[in-house]
Amino acid sequence: MATHDPDLKKELDATLQTRKELGPEYESELVESFLEKLDQNVDRRVRRQLAEQQMQVARGARPRRTDATSEFWQRFAVAVVSLVLAIPLSAIAVAEAGFVGLVVCWAGVVGVNAVHGLVLPQRLRGRAERREGDWD
């Protein structure tokens, strides 16, 4: 979700226009000046967001769920659903293929949970790294 700051856009447009007028020899100074303004903009937004969060906490609002909390509930949901579905699938597997069918059925249940347990933490780590990279 990108939010566009009209003042920052105007500043970038002015910087680009100034570069056209002054030429490439002033490019590094213009870029430094723009980056300084961008840094100030980011600082202002972060301070505002922290202040809003502090106000919410002071008012007794519940904090948003973290990725760790979300990860727990996702894993829990997959485990519960897979076990609930495993019961009728086991009955069908035994009726159709005997013990081999039961082993294949439970191998599938274990496989689904194992893949989910391995893939979900990697996806969350990737999201966290992308979020941290946004501030660089």
Distance CA 67, CA 50 (A): 19
Q: Can you give the pTM of this predicted structure?
A: 0.41
Domain coordinates of the chain in residue numbers?
1-64, 65-136
**Residue-wise pLDDT tens digits, 57-107:** 888 766 555 666 777 777 788 888 888 888 888 899 899 999 998 999 999
Distance CA 36, CA 55 (A): 29
Give the C-alpha distances (Å, rounded to integers) separating 116 from 11, 98, 124.
Answer: 46, 28, 12
